[in-house]
A and B are shown apart, each in its own frame.
Chain A
Amino acid sequence: MNEIRPQAGNLFKNTPPPELPEGPPDYRAVGRHAVFPETTHDEIARLNYLAQLNRHLAARVMPHVKSAWELRVKPRLEAQNPPPRDRHDVRKALAADPVFQTWSALRRLTMEQRQQAGRWTALRQAEALAEKAAELTAGDPRLSLDENLPIPRYVTAVDHHTMPGSYHAERFPGDVTAAANYDHAIFATTGGLLGRLTDGAGRGIVKWLQTAMPGFAPTRILEIGATIGHSLLPIAAAYPQAEVIAVDLGAPVLRYGLARAKSLGVENVHFVQADGTDLSRYQDQSFDWVQTTMFLHELSKTSMRAIFAECFRLLKPGGIMVHVEQPQYAPTMPLFEQSMRDWDSYNNNEPFWSTLHTIDLDATMQEAGFAPENFIHDHVFGVVDKDIFPDAADDETEDYGRKASWRLVGARK
């Protein structure tokens, strides 16, 4: 019996020690700050499990969805008359396939379990978190809230990415649970692909800026839809002399965002509750840089046009607007991929996602006043601490819309 007893790291006597499996790091590698919620051993275990479950669905179940499409759904669909015309035909055909159904049900449940797990942790310490945020932000002119700001229908109709209450709902004055939930449990969905402070996109933008325009020295920077400022902080830190403004509709994320930024030693960011479609509080030509990160898909056509127009108005001549998003559905993108990328639009409360990715963004930018010769189209990868966190550039799994790899669309004014 002793001979077959498992050895540490070597479960089978005749096989070499296994290589470390690819996948999310332990949650304990996640960076903390003054308003980060406390997490028990079991709460950490739950987030580790959910991150692994997401990874499992992407790496080990998704390939079966793809083969179900190729081997049985696609041949049947293409034999029909007429053949599939667009991603909607593919989506409807996939919806009847058992492998797609199972994957979808599990993916939806994983999102729901992630929300329950994160919300429990944030809610059970709601008062303590609100007090910490209040201590760090009381009387600070860098926090500007507007409790009468209307929340538009494209935000209230369905809670984005099935996060109950979205970014704006609050239980009591000073509540930050929406932000604390988003911040500490996003790891379950990203598996660390956005780095220890969920700032991989912001760090990616800084890297892009320093490479693509090394002489650029913005003095005024704006992010619209900044939530807790996680994507903006690396830019604020890279340009410490700049005045940086984070705008969002939600008060909880802004309160938490300022407390978080101060706790992380980033002092040049203002957090302002406002609607990006009307930033009339700021003068024409008063910013060098305006950005959104993974934000356009949470808008509507009208609000996106208005935001682009505000970006143009707010930029100084030579100033730059940049939007970091998942790729558009080019005609060359296979219908299966388009349909899979649409999943969040239909099944994860991202209703504008599907429409956004078919809109001619160049035309929208031109309509807002930007000249085609000044358009910017590029790629941005999430930048993370590679010794601990998985690097999106090396990640070969395809999770259709969740990868830390984005298109950068924008223009110089």
Chain B
Amino acid sequence: MAAGRREEVESVSIEDALADSAAKPAGKRPYFLHPETERVLAITMAVAQELAVTRDRLDTLERVLEANGIPVREAIESFTPTPEESAERGLWIQEYLTRILRIVQQEGEAVAHTARGDVASEDVATELRHEP
């Protein structure tokens, strides 16, 4: 191929870029832990990375504000929410915990559901298929 044929440069769609950025390399992946555990660890480590990225951005924001004469770090350290603000923030944390610990709640509810005869959709599907 000749060097640098600009007209042949095609585009990478956003779909392509998203899929390709996380592409698997050729070669089977080794597992060091139970695959279930390692899968969860992989997701957790990616989330830990993104938390660090967010923390870094927040730190940048604070420093940029400071550099522009807004003493935000001091203001953050001495910030005391009003009772109303405290309630809003407390509610946000509760909502957040409900979201991220959803599986714990649902597995807890499953104890009672099972006790009163919870069934699987697959079983109901079979039942409906065999309905006379």
Please report A residues at the B interface, Cβ cutoff 8 Å.
5-6, 41-42, 45-46, 48-50, 53, 95, 100-102, 104-106, 108-110, 112-113, 115-116, 119-120, 123-124, 126-127, 130-131, 133-140, 143-145, 147, 156-159, 162-166, 171-174, 177, 251, 255, 346-347, 349
Please report B residues at the A interface, Cβ cutoff 8 Å.
1-6, 8-12, 16-17, 20-27, 29-33, 38, 41-42, 45-46, 49, 52-53, 56-57, 60, 77-78
- CB pair B9–A173 under 8 Å, yes or no, is yes
Residue of A nearest to B19 (CB): A123
Which one, A138, A162, A171, contacts B3 given CB within 8 A? Answer: A138
- CB pair B57–A105 under 8 Å, yes or no, is no
Nearest CB of chain B from residue A180's CB, rounded to whole Å = 12
What are some 5 contacts across the A-B interface (CB < 8 A)? A101-B33, A102-B33, A138-B6, A172-B9, A173-B10
- CB pair A49–B53 under 8 Å, yes or no, is yes
Which one, B8, B21, B45, contacts A120 given CB within 8 A? Answer: B21
- CB pair A113–B1 under 8 Å, yes or no, is no
Chain B residues contacting A104 (CB-CB under 8 Å) are: 30, 32
Residue of B nearest to A259 (CB): B4
Bound complex: CA A358 to CA B3 (Å):
40
Identify whether the interface residues of A are mostly helix, strand, loop, or mixed. Answer: helix
Residue of B nearest to A5 (CB): B77
Bound complex: CA A106 to CA B41 (Å):
8
Chain A residues contacting B38 (CB-CB under 8 Å) are: 105
- CB pair A119–B27 under 8 Å, yes or no, is no
- CB pair B20–A255 under 8 Å, yes or no, is no
Given A6-B77, A172-B9, A119 and B49 contact (CB-CB distance below 8 Å) = no
Residue of A nearest to B73 (CB): A8
Chain A residues contacting B6 (CB-CB under 8 Å) are: 131, 134-135, 138, 174
Given A124-B17, A164-B25, A347 and B49 contact (CB-CB distance below 8 Å) = no
- CB pair B8–A174 under 8 Å, yes or no, is yes
Chain B residues contacting A101 (CB-CB under 8 Å) are: 32-33
- CB pair A123–B21 under 8 Å, yes or no, is yes
Given A101-B32, A174-B5, A127 and B11 contact (CB-CB distance below 8 Å) = yes
Given A49-B52, A255-B4, A109 and B45 contact (CB-CB distance below 8 Å) = yes
By Cβ-Cβ distance, the 5 closest A-B pairs, closest first, are A158-B27, A138-B4, A159-B25, A134-B4, A45-B56
- CB pair A115–B25 under 8 Å, yes or no, is yes
Bound complex: CA A147 to CA B11 (Å):
20
- CB pair B27–A171 under 8 Å, yes or no, is no
Residue of A nearest to B43 (CB): A109
Bound complex: CA A166 to CA B26 (Å):
9
- CB pair B56–A162 under 8 Å, yes or no, is no
Which one, A42, A124, A255, contacts B57 given CB within 8 A? Answer: A42
Chain A residues contacting B3 (CB-CB under 8 Å) are: 137-140, 143-145, 255
Residue of A nearest to B46 (CB): A113
- CB pair A41–B4 under 8 Å, yes or no, is no
- CB pair A49–B4 under 8 Å, yes or no, is no
Which one, A102, A138, A159, contacts B27 given CB within 8 A? Answer: A159
- CB pair A172–B8 under 8 Å, yes or no, is yes
Bound complex: CA A112 to CA B41 (Å):
13
Which one, B17, B25, B41, B56, contacts A109 given CB within 8 A? Answer: B41
- CB pair B8–A119 under 8 Å, yes or no, is no
- CB pair B1–A173 under 8 Å, yes or no, is yes
